[in-house]
A = this chain, B = another copy of it.
Amino acid sequence: MANRPHLDSLNLAPGKKARLYRLLYETGPANGTLMILPIDQGLEHGPRDFFDAPESQDPHFQFRIAVEGRFSAIACQIGLAEKYYPAYAGKIPLILKLNGKTEIPSDEAPLSPQIASVEDAVRLGADAVGYTLYVGSSRQDEDFQQFRRIREEADRYGMPVVVWSYPRGAAIEAKGGKDTIYAVDYAARVAQELGADVIKLNVPKVDPEKLKMAPKAYQRDWTPEEALKQVIQSAGNSLVIFAGGERGAGASALEKAEACMKAGATGLIFGRNVWQRPFSEAMELSRSIHEMLERYA
């Protein structure tokens, strides 16, 4: 079983350390792992994500799951943070996402524009901010510059930065797409180089056909375990969390999640897979995640 970086070894400034300590040791599993519930899909995909689970249209649903399912934090955009979080403040830490976009226009050269600031996060009592970086987009120059201003503001306020590091855009497609070990691996390193404290990655998919389009150095057989370890390695001293993905069978999702933890991940981010279920099922899945994470203290 791989080691994950310990908070004490990350050389974090006191504000960042105090806030991450809260997420890692005072809420959720509280054993140094993370279990985060994101509710940003309404902006990224539109309300269609809520259609199979009608309760989920009301953001209170996700906030209740986060509190009663004992998550480490809930991650959402400024609108929900201002209108819903006040009722739950103190009961569940907040990760304020600072940028976002709709899926409507073309994704050839994506850029996720800033829609809130670190100062908003401080004002709302958030314990971290989130940023979506589109690694490989031809607009990386704007993305990096935008991220820099946020990273600097976060350094000033001692606010941890969680980077959703996503390979995207035409050049990524030409090199095998967003799910190859090459793409995810590069995304992990870029987030580390730019100053992420926590990096959210998608689990790389092992698809030999697509991998052929990637650079030569990646041309070998990868087991899923090796792939996971590689991308976690590339994140270095940044904590890695993996997505639970769309709603699937609970058991297989848990297996996949456990593989991530085994490979050295610090935690999990379970969104649709949790809240696209009825409340009681969501609680059940949350409990299972808790049980599993207890084994990775």
Contacts and interface: CB of A to CB of B under 8 A. Distances in A.
Interface of A: 10-11, 40, 42-43, 46-48, 51-52, 57-59, 77-80, 82-87, 100-102, 104-106, 111-117, 119-120, 123, 135-138, 140-145, 147-148, 151-152, 155, 167, 169-172, 175, 182, 185-186, 188-196, 215-218, 230, 233-234, 236-238
Contacts of A195: 78-79, 82, 115-116
27 contacts: A40-B193, A43-B193, A46-B215, A47-B186, A47-B189, A48-B215, A57-B233, A77-B194, A78-B151, A79-B191, A79-B192, A79-B196, A79-B236, A80-B192, A83-B237, A83-B238, A101-B140, A101-B144, A102-B140, A104-B136, A104-B167, A104-B171, A105-B140, A105-B169, A114-B145, A114-B148, A115-B151
B238 A175 contact: no
| 10 closest A-B pairs by CB | A104-B136, A48-B217, A83-B237, A113-B141, A11-B86, A46-B186, A43-B193, A113-B144, A105-B138, A79-B193
A76 B226 CA distance: 27
Contact of A192 (B11, B42, B87, B141): B42
Given A79-B193, A80-B193, A115-B147, 20 more contacts: A11-B82, A11-B86, A43-B190, A47-B185, A47-B230, A51-B217, A57-B233, A58-B233, A77-B193, A77-B194, A78-B194, A78-B195, A79-B191, A79-B192, A84-B237, A104-B135, A104-B175, A115-B145, A116-B195, A117-B152
